[in-house]
Amino acid sequence: MDSSEATEPRFDYGAFSFASKSEVLAKAKEFWNPDKTQFWSDAGIPLVIDRREEYFIYDMSGKRLIDVHLNGGTFNLGHRNAEVVQAVTLAMQHFDIGNHHFPSLARTALAEALVASAPPGIGKVVYASGGGEAIDIALKTARHATQKRKIISIVKAYHGHTGLAVGTGDDRFSKLFLSDRPEEFPHVPFNDLEAMERELRGRDVAAVIMETIPATYGFPLPDPGYLEAVKSMCERYDALYIADEVQTGLMRTGELWGITKHGIAPDILVTGKGISGGMYPIAAVLLNERCAGWLREDGFGHISTFGGAELGCIAALKSLEICVRPETRSMVHYIADFIGAGLRRIQAEHPDWFVGIRQNGVVMGLEFAHPQGAKFVMRHLYDNGVWAIFSTLDPRVLQFKPGILLKPELAEELLDRVEVGISKAWREVRGARGRLR
């Protein structure tokens, strides 16, 4: 008996099994992604997510983490949200991915629901299998509608890694694959209206694409009036305004779409991540009638086998329904208020270290007084049971994204853990500086 137990794999998932976490890590390096695997080991985050439920993820070791990364809002509603799971499970008794060529039940139902939820002017929905593809659809649509080629994005923008989307983002990801095209994709500094106007003035721009709050750049907030001014410039110079609401949509700012807090009716709105309910990949591009021309001219213009997979549509319908409940909106306001006040309290105790809070609803960026500050905090939060990620394009800033259904007691526990993690990170940074001196 003893010997057979010893040979039993400890981590048996039915379809596969591993003897240990170190086996997973070794094989991940061998067969999957050696650099990424090594990166997290080096960063002191040896995480392999096993069990997941509500706002908790569990490492293979059993260590529990409160998830405030949420993969950019993918897990907005928590991990394996019971209502979404139930909806998708039931749907599997009847639906599969579906045939993208034909009009479909679930795609039509979701499109109608998305249009009903959208800012004024939106009338059509195009589906993608993920955010990058959705951005590509948005950019192609803008080019078709305006018959112009240039797309303006901001410096350090992030809109995904697909063919066109990658051109709008940081060079790090485009040059690696020889995909940078600066002549078609000018980048202008964020919050710089003059630079924006210089690029637009030539009237050769198809669209400006903006995240309502640039996530991967650490959620720098648009200056008051900035987005509004960009939108009116777009109108003046005949460019379209594409709102990338992948991270700011779905109630994260306390309204369903963050852009509506600016009174902006975008020409195109892109949603992804959270719309999947974290259960079945799907993304969507919402178009106003001017942009919808190609859907009348050549509806086969963009083809995507998995885009708008019907099971994904069901997950999205349920996720959207949860997001638009009045109770959900109210709770987001409570959570934003409570967490914001708690963070300001913690900040007041670490004024030289925790130097800024960027917040709009439950979209938050925490600034630290060190060029790599957020990496220190990330690791100490990890040690103290909280998973939040640094901003790839500004590692001073920690992305802090509590779920929109966070319960009061978990919110309190989260703040307790964050306070300790931030203090410990400060001690480490201060100690390191002391030693350097």
Chain residues that interact with another protein, rule: CB under 8 A: 83, 86-87, 90-91, 93-94, 105, 221-225, 253-254, 261, 314, 321-322, 325, 327-328, 330-338, 340, 357-361, 405, 407-408
The Cα diameter of the chain in Å comes to 79
Q: 149 vs 261, which CB is nearer to another protein?
A: 261
Backbone angles phi, psi at 390, to 5 degrees: -70, 165
Q: Nearest distance from residue 326's CB to another protein, in Å?
A: 8
**Rounded to whole angstroms, how far apart are CA atoms 372 and 210?**
25
With residue 231 as reference, give the H or E element that holds it.
Answer: helix 226-236
**Rounded to whole angstroms, how far apart are CA atoms 85 and 209?**
33
Q: Nearest distance from residue 337's CB to another protein, in Å?
A: 4
Q: 224 vs 351, which CB is nearer to another protein?
A: 224
Cα–Cα separations (whole angstroms), residue 286 to 127, 144, 365 = 9, 15, 27
Sign of CA pseudo-dihedral 153, 158, 164, 166: positive
Q: Nearest distance from residue 83's CB to another protein, in Å?
A: 5
Please report the DSSP string for 324-340 in residue order: HSHHHHHHHHHHHHHHH
Q: 173 vs 226, which CB is nearer to another protein?
A: 226
Q: Nearest distance from residue 261's CB to another protein, in Å?
A: 8
Are 65 and 59 within 8 A, CB to CB? Answer: yes
Q: Nearest distance from residue 96's CB to another protein, in Å?
A: 13
Residue ranges in 33-183 assigned as alpha helix (H): 34-42, 70-73, 82-91, 105-117, 131-146, 165-168, 171-175
Q: 240 vs 251, which CB is nearer to another protein?
A: 251
Q: Which residue in the block uniquely carries the two structure tokens 């892109």?
A: 270
Q: 20 vs 86, which CB is nearer to another protein?
A: 86
Q: 326 vs 434, which CB is nearer to another protein?
A: 326
Q: Nearest distance from residue 263's CB to another protein, in Å?
A: 9
